[in-house]
Amino acid sequence: MSETTPGGADLAARAAALDTADPLAKLRDRFALPDGLVYLDGNSLGALPAAVPGAVEDVVRRQWGELLIRSWDESGWWTAPERIGDLIAPLIGAAPGQVTVGDSTSVNLFKALVGAARLAAPGRTRMLVDATTFPTDGYIAASAARLTGLEVVPVDPSDAAAHLTDTTAVVLLNHVDYRTGRLHDLPALTRAAHASGALVVWDLCHSAGALPVGLDAHDVDLAVGCTYKYLNGGPGAPAYIYVAQRHQGAFDSPLPGWNSHVEPFAMTPEYEPAQGAARTRVGTPDILSMLALEAALGAWEGVDVADVRAKSLALTDFFLECVAAYVPEGAVEPVTPAPHAERGSQVSLRTANARAVMTELIARGVIGDFRAPDVLRFGFTPLYVSFADAERAARTLGHIFG
Concatenated DSSP letters of 142-153: HHHHHHHTPEEE
Compute the distance between CA of residue 185 and CA of residue 171 in angstroms, rounded to an integer: 14
Asked whether residue 277 falls in the same domain as residue 369, the answer is: no
Residue ending a domain, choose from 236, 267, 300: 300
- How many other CB atoms are found less than 10 A from the CB of residue 282? 18
Question: DSSP H helical segments within 300-386, as ranges?
Answer: 305-326, 354-363
The identity of residue 385, as a single letter, is: V
* Catalytic annotation, residues: 134, 203, 228-229, 377
Residue 165 lies in a domain: yes
On whether residue 45 sits in a domain, the answer given is no
Same domain, 262 and 340: no
* CATH code: domain of residue 20: 3.90.1150.10
Contacts (Cβ under 8 Å, ≥6 apart) of 21: none
Number of structural domains the chain divides into: 2
Cβ(114)–Cβ(249) below 8 Å: no
Any domain includes 334: yes
User: What pLDDT is attached to residue 333?
Assistant: 98
Written as one letter, the residue type at 7 is G
> Is 216 contained in some domain?
yes
Last residue of a domain, one of 244, 275, 300: 300
Flag whether 186 is in a domain. yes
Across-strand partners of 202? 173, 223
For residue 361, give Cα distances in angstroms to 4, 325, 356, 365.
Answer: 20, 18, 9, 6
Is residue 39 one of the residues assigned to a domain? no
* Same domain? 201 vs 94: yes
3-state secondary structure of 11: helix
Integer-rounded Cα radius of gyration of the chain: 22
175/80 same-domain check: yes
* pLDDT for the residue numbered 9: 61
Same domain, 292 and 313: no
Domain limits for position 108: 53-300
**Cis amide prior to 337 (ω within 30 degrees):** no
Question: Which residues 6+ apart lie within 8 Å of 364 measured at CB?
Answer: 396, 399, 400
Give the tens place of pLDDT for each residue, 259-277: 999 999 999 999 999 999 9
63 and 98 co-located in one domain = yes
Same domain, 325 and 269: no
Element at 248 (helix H, strand E): helix 245-248
- Report the CATH number at residue 61: 3.40.640.10
Same domain, 167 and 279: yes
Contacts of residue 213, defined as CB under 8 A and 6 or more positions apart, other chains included, come to 91, 92, 93, 175, 186, 204, 207, 223
Domain membership of residue 42 (yes or no) is: no
- 136 and 104, same structural domain? yes
SS3 400: helix
Does residue 214 sit in the same domain as residue 275?
A: yes
Could you give the residue ranges of the DSSP H alpha helices within 70-228? 71-74, 80-88, 105-119, 135-148, 186-195
Whether residue 314 sits in one domain with residue 193:
no
pLDDT for 402: 86
Q: Which of 257, 273, 300 is the last residue of a domain?
A: 300
Block means of pLDDT (10 residues each) for the chain, 402 residues, are 51 97 98 97 98 98 98 98 98 98 98 98 97 94 98 96 97 97 98 98 98 98 98 98 98 97 96 96 97 98 98 98 96 97 98 97 98 97 98 97 90
- How buried is residue 328: exposed, middle or buried, by Cβ count under 10 Å (0-12/13-18/19+)? exposed
- Residues 167 and 230 reside in one and the same domain: yes
Residue 341: what pLDDT? 97
Residue 246 belongs to some domain of the structure: yes
Q: Taking Cα atoms as reference points, which of 118, 107, 95, 106 lies closest to residue 199?
A: 118
CB within 8 Å of 111: residues ≥ 6 apart: 103, 241, 253, 254, 255, 280, 282
- Residue 317 to residue 98: CA distance in whole angstroms: 35
